[in-house]
Structure formats: structure tokens, C-alpha cells
Amino acid sequence: MTLRPLEAEAVPPVVAAAFERFWQAYPARSPNPKAQARQVFARLVAGGAEPERLVAAAETFAAECACKGIAAAFVPHARTWLYQRRYEDYLAIPQPLPLPEPEPAMPLNPHSATLKEAFRHLAEAEYRHFIAPLEVAIEAGRATVTAPSRFQADHVRSRWLGDIRRALGCREIRIEVRR
């Protein structure tokens, strides 16, 4: 017995365009066979489903996944989601769920505001990567600065030790790696 490759069903251009909007709205998942999802989408539309309602349902589902923090590995394949008519659970919801407001980041230590002010000249990404993760402990005029990695500790020591000394007002600074 010889196996033939699956032949792609012809999809009308209007349905293909609606499917592309659906595909863009559906939550990311890898792997997620697009051709199979397109075929099920086309069959649903041929059976009377409104394409824009399927797109809206995918948008609502994607918002719910983002809101609940559902990992991509747990998002069903689009084909399965369509074939099992899971979209019907999202048709009655008129608007996508709002994304939660991000909680303000808590500073790692009481000296973070001092370091933020001292390093305001740094680019945000450089500050966030090198300075913000530092933990500072000051005892008897001596500061211990703990970095998350040896690379970061060496980089901070070579580039910003003097700035840290001035910002914290300590003559003796010890930089170590978090264990």
C-alpha cells in the first residue's frame, strides 16, 4: 500500500483571509499544524459558522490564556480547538478579558533607590541587567554587594566600583557572587 500526501482542500480567498486573522489571534503554540487548522476552519465556515465570530472567539481565548498565564505547551492545537467546538465557549463573551495590571516590582534591598539615582545615566537595559539585581548589605561602614553571577560581579567591579562606593558612602566595598 502506498501512502499519498494529504491534498489541501481548496479554501475560498475570503475564508483564507478570515483564517489568517484567526491564526494571528490564536495563542502561540509550537507545534501547531496550520494546514489542518485551516481545513477545519473552512469546514466550519462552510457549515454556517461566521468567520469573524471564530476570530473573535480566538481573541477572547488568547486574552484568557494571557490573563491566566497559561503556558504555550498547554494551549490546544488550533485544529483541536476548532474541531472540538471549544470556540463556542468564547462566543458569548463580548469582549476579551482585560490583562491584569502588572504589580510594581519590589526593590531587592533598601539601597536600590540610592543605586538607581547614582546610575540614572545608564541605559535602562544596562541598569536592569547589571545594577538592579545587586543586593547590598552595609555593616559598620563596609558594604557587601552581591551579584547573581561571576560575570556580573566582575563587570560591576571593573566598570562601576567607584560609582557604587560614592553612592553608598562606603570606603570598603566587597563584591561577591550569590550562592
pLDDT value at position 23? Answer: 94
Is residue 159 a part of any domain in this protein? Answer: yes
pLDDT value at position 4? Answer: 42
Residue 111 has pLDDT above 60, yes or no: yes
What does residue 103 show for φ and ψ, rounded to 5 degrees? -75, 140
Is residue 2 a part of any domain in this protein? Answer: no
User: Do 122 and 81 fall into the same domain?
Assistant: no
User: Do 117 and 79 fall into the same domain?
Assistant: no
Is residue 1 a part of any domain in this protein? Answer: no
User: Do 78 and 140 fall into the same domain?
Assistant: no
Is residue 6 a part of any domain in this protein? Answer: no
Helix (H) or strand (E) holding 145: strand 142-147
CB 176 within 8 A of CB 144: yes
User: Do 68 and 133 fall into the same domain?
Assistant: no
User: Do 31 and 85 fall into the same domain?
Assistant: yes
User: Do 116 and 51 fall into the same domain?
Assistant: no
Is residue 105 a part of any domain in this protein? Answer: no
Residue 30 has pLDDT above 80, yes or no: yes
Is residue 59 a part of any domain in this protein? Answer: yes
pLDDT category at 94 given cuts 50, 70, 90 is low
Domain endpoint, select from 91, 125, 141: 91
The C-alpha angle 102, 90, 35, rounded to 5 degrees, equals 100
In this prediction the pTM is 0.49
Domain of residue 83, residue span:
13-91
Among 46, 47, 31, 45, CA closest to 80: 31
Is residue 4 a part of any domain in this protein? Answer: no
Among 178, 173, 125, 114, CA closest to 149: 178
* Cα gap 61→27, rounded to integer Å: 8
User: Do 81 and 125 fall into the same domain?
Assistant: no
Is residue 165 a part of any domain in this protein? Answer: yes
| Total tally of structural domains belonging to the chain | 2
The mean pLDDT value for 104-121 works out to: 70
